[in-house]
Structures are given as structure tokens and as C-alpha cells.
Structure 1
């Protein structure tokens, strides 16, 4: 593969113009996996694996015989078509996202993500490729997550505080007579 003059990857305010600001949205994209356009893919720099859920894997049209068991622990693209290979760790659990793209793929792409811009940029043999996030898809994922029967509810720490009773009687000591 021949790289064009080692182009620099940068972001500008122009890259963020089409977004609704302010936002704290996750970076959610659409990718082509096999012959399947996979929507609601979370880009997560903190994930140590690339993970599609099992229903999304089935829709990719890849035979189940290609799955191999793994004991590895889990730690927790509208745009131009760029061909990149991803090795997925398939998980059979419910999720608001069809897949997670983690550090293995981001590092192999030499990708730079910027959540303010909801964008991934990476080098290709033709220059800098980019993949934009989808704010509508992020909100759809949030709604799906809130409607899931088995989702965990966040609770305030204040609700779980309990006062500890002293184990012995405390003695008052005056430090100053005034």
C-alpha cells in the first residue's frame, strides 16, 4: 500500500458545523460489515474488543461455523466506502447498540476519534478517510436502552448512605477554655 505524502490528520470547527451543540453524545456510526450495513455501532476507545451482538452477527450473513470460542475477557460509517478488516468477538446479550468498535480496530486503522466533532479520521492509501457520527442514532440508542427490561438503573449515592452508630461512648474534650 502506498500512502500519499503522510498527510496530517486534523479537525476544524467546520467539521462540527452540522452538529447540534452543545452535546455530550456518544460516537455512533454506520459501517458495512460483510454485505450488511450495520447501524448503531458505538465507537468506544475504552473497549478492549470489537463486539457485535449475536442478532447483528446473524444479519451479516457470515456462517455460524466461522465462530470460534474465546476465553478472552471483555473490558469495558455514513461516509466514503473504505475497506478495513475487523475481527469481532460476538456476544449474545441484549444491547442498544448492534456492535462496539474498540481499540483493536481503532489502533489498526491508526484512527483518531473526537467526540466533540462526532468523527473518526484515519489514513488510507488515498489520503485521510473520515467517518461521521449520527446524533439521531445516538438518541435512538438512548431510547432503546431506557426501554430495555434488563437495564440497570443509576442510583444516587445519597440514597444508599446510612449513618454508622458509634461503637463506644464518645467523650467531649475542651481544647480551649474560652
Structure 2
């Protein structure tokens, strides 16, 4: 009897998709904890919230800050990019992008990186493809439909929240209202 059309490359078996594999996520987390994926994880100092509501929410949730999203922006000659992504990780992309102003942009390449959303208790980690471009932008990252679908995420721009299912319930990522201004 056929289990499913879904195939997991980690287990090399049918039944679920690789992107949904809890065993793979746990193994990636173990590798991170053991220090094997240091080049993908920033262990820098955590940023303290700047408004009292963020502090109250964080204390009420009693959740530690476990990581920092590294934003690669504001560097016209690409020096910061080389701190986080080496050229060997970038795969060539031959298709130009059309910018918001209609201008064609040649990507520097694409890179597959693990992306974790949520808190330690309710976290989801997926391997996400990022296109790296050298262009001025008002955005730090553009989280496209394919990534939202990969995380099975729901976005509320009004509430500045992103909610997604995890193996232990709904996880969420919350925006910072002061940073958004």
C-alpha cells in the first residue's frame, strides 16, 4: 500500500515532505547546538527592546532571546555580505529581477540558508532560498509567497504578526512597531 505521494529526502521514504520533517528539524537544531552550523547562526549580543510594551510582552511570555536576525543592508560595496555569505555559497542566477521602479536588477546569486521563526518552545526551521541583490531598498528582507507557503504562515500586517504551525502548537513572529516607523 502506497503511503503517500509526499517524499522525504532525509528519510528517503514516502509519507511526508522533507520541509515537514520533524526529525530533520531536530537534527538541524542538534547540529546548531553542537556548533557545527556556526557559519549560519549569529551568536552576537541580543538587542534590548526600546519600548516598555515590548519589555512587558517579553517578560510576560518569559521567553529568552535565542538569536538575532542578521540584516545585510546599507553597504554599497558588499563588505557586510562577505561577513555572512561566502562566494562559494552563492549559486549563479541567470534571470534578472525587475525592481519596484521597473529597473532590471542582476542578482549576485542565490543561497540556501536555514531560517528559524518563533521562540525556542514554538519554533519552525526551514531551508529557504534567498536571492541576494545589490540594490537600495526600504526592506531588509522580502518574504515571498513561496517562503510563506513553506512555513504555512499567515500574515497580519495590522498586528505586525506572522503565525505558523509547529509540532507543539502555533508559533509567531512579532514585528517591532518602532523599527517599522
The answer, yes or no, to whether TM exceeds 0.5 is no
TM-score (norm 2): 0.44
In terms of fraction of residues, the more helix-rich structure is 2
TM-score (norm 1): 0.45
Q: Which has the higher contact order (CA 8 A, sep 6+)?
A: 1
